Structure 1
């Protein structure tokens, strides 16, 4: 109880007492408290100088300190007048003056007794031991970074009251305050960073008092090798090397980038210049086709007109031969241009490649016979089915055989072989191929030239010495065409020597399986029969020989002759000389009309309504394709056949021309004979269509092969007449108004389609309906006359007989006899 304020105050928790059971309490003259327990005697030193009572310390005494025993008796204590204290126990009592009792404080010294690394004890004599002397004598330890975790065991040398010894430790560099560990005597550190540390350990005295004395052990953790000074030096050097490398690389990269940029600009400029040259060359090549037309076509006419004048024919044919050779060169260069631009396409169809090549080589047999060469064709079988482009395959065979003929000399031998062949592809799969070999016994190809033989414009020195005419593009074009077929070409050659002839074999492999994957490069066509080889025949005419291939014997005048009635032919061409030449070609047998461009041609077409049109494609103001679209979409002109002439030979342009509705597409330079045949053929086709309409009693516009616009127009006209069939007043004006055409245009349209006038067309529809009713047999002649709108019996009988060759009554008898 605090006497200052008489408050009850707690000064201890009870843990400080020497025993758990209190028997008596006395206060000495110094106001300190003495307590007897079941295990000894305790003294509480108190401080009364503050507002509250503070416990300074507790001294505990036991039998070993001179007491009668540890066990005291209940309420057995007394303090006399002199301040002397008495405490009774089971073995007697103790009496003493409190001031004469002093507590001897003994602080036990600390000794390190054991050292472990990775939970294994370490001694001085062990390998790689950090201990130089025994741990009890060690004051400092150097540990490698890998020598962790480590443990230290220590002990306080308290021989009086060892059970009262408690410990505290502090690791300088890690711990800020002392850490009490109780009676625990082992410390373990798992992973300390590299650095210097000091471990401090102290113990409490036998009265549980802590002194400032402690044991210490210096510990140095060495850094791992990657954090040593020489490692950092290495890092620094490596960093400098990397930075230097980066700077050097960056510098080189910028130099390379600048060089590549310059090279790219140079190549782009070079490519642009090359493109300009090629574009100029291509444009010039296209333009050359027009003057070649004006050379080759008139030459054909001269040859046709010259009869049997051998001297004249020989000179003219020399001009024709060299003109066609020039055309061949232009065509090959333009074909190469298509490959370079990626515009080359295959028009493949399935056919017998063995038979095709045999027919293609027929003109070469004639040439070999004339020159005295031994020419042989060999095939392992008579039939080898293959998907291939006939036109390109013919060029391939021509170029290979042409090279063979140029390579051989007198007594030369040429052999072309074809067979089926199997080999593994790059993925190890077994594939079937058509193998074509062309062999000759000429001079051979030098080894150094083998790798360049397929390069553009490459020519053998031997050919130059022998003045062999060669453009140097045939083999490159051949290789590209074979590659387009997914095939391959190779060459093996032995040079001729003084003792033996040379030998050259070109081998072509074309896969039999149809494995074209790109629809953009392949156009599949139906298989067509092709007898003979017009291309090869025409090309061999460019060679210096006079062999003949059998052709039709019709002269040009015979082809141009179209009978007494002259059809109207419209020629639309911006080139004055070509327009004049074509006009002269047809003017004797046709009513020729001309126009200088598409717009001029259209203005004249709607006025004239010609029977057939020949038009150039490339023209100012309106080109031939646009004109063709307009003609075929206008109901006044959609029935007129159109032939397009152009110097553009690409299959893409041909398809574009045919899609616009053109009836034919002829490349320049064209054959005058072929052009005349196509004009006559289209007009005859139109005549057959008209006869078909005139003869049949049942009108089916679909059967006439008309354009969609013509077919719709004709259907509409027939339907209108049939609806108004019983109206005898139905006139041409009514029909033309219904169809949206003028009377003149209706006349020309029906005349072109059916070869009869509008009045005759109406009458024929009536009469054909009458014939159908007679065939049914349910009506009399008079009833039929009124049904079809012809009231006059005489007019009906005469008109019917004119159309069917018999009068109505005989027609009925024929139907029912």
Structure 2
């Protein structure tokens, strides 16, 4: 424990020194703040429940996006939420809220904790400093957390302010410039401030790994040590989400679509094999590969797990190398399936009866279900084929409509942007915007080969600006 604490303090000091000397390189990307805050707050739920603190996240359904460095943003929020948890007494409350207007995104972290004495408030953002009442509390701290928060806010071109009343609480307000770019949607299990490492062992941040890392693994495991071990192991190559129960995993699947699931069988509450059955019986999630881990090694137990729809079944104790190999194998099959779907989508455009489209506006029904080539690839659930089919149909039907965008596509598919993005990305390897653009440009190529003038091709494929179309 002492070694972990020493390592924690050393890591924070090094991080602080990087930020202090401006050597920390910012890697800006469009971040969905709704998504990001939900992820951060979920990481602090356990510690707040243990301490008897009511932690609430308040935000509107409207998507709010900012340009930020994911790792620095995590450090900032981890510090603020960690302080709120440490200095709020049992029975207190912490509110995290997100609001936006046309130009700004505003995050507020408010608590009913011990507050900051008036005479000491001037030191909070300017020195490595702990207020007198914080030092007198039973909570550990080193005094540079809020200074770090202030400097991160400056690096991200944000503004931070606070108000505080002794024994009544503190409110921090951070404002960022709002942007309207398509966010890079990644579910990243929170990398908590090392000072509250009793919740979860931190794993490498997504922003610190290779750009080639794209697949998302959902790990469902109630044992903290094994869950943390698997998370740390697979985070090197994949985006990893971890939950401690099947119920939490099902809640996650309501809004997100991972590429593969690794689940324990023996867990409190819902068992892993029942969780597997529910996932495989749901048409919207049936195509997600599932590996079950279990200490039950009897013939009947293994058969039962496979009968629930599991794609593989590994007995504990297991070889990590074997588990990695099985994960790679299942994801390799997914990659082959993605390539197949993309080929079929392009064939739909090339095979479309242009005369029928021009005279009746009706596309012929060329379904990917009946393709002979579909028998040569690993198949996922039929609902996934229907999903791709319906997406392609909608894009073809609205090809010339310049107002047909991702929001309309999601509404027509009756799905949230987040869920639609995750599912399409998992099945095709492309996000909605990239997929729609690919379809339009493939159609444009066919029209250009047929001798249609560039300006007319641009209009027929939904590009109002011919110059922008030519550039693409």
- TM-score bracket, normalised by the shorter chain, equals 0.3 to 0.5
User: Higher strand share goes to which structure?
Assistant: 1
**Which structure has the bigger radius of gyration?**
1
- More relative contact order, 1 or 2 (CA 8 Å, 6+ apart): 2
Length-normalised TM-score, structure 2? 0.44
User: Higher helix share goes to which structure?
Assistant: 2
Length-normalised TM-score, structure 1? 0.27
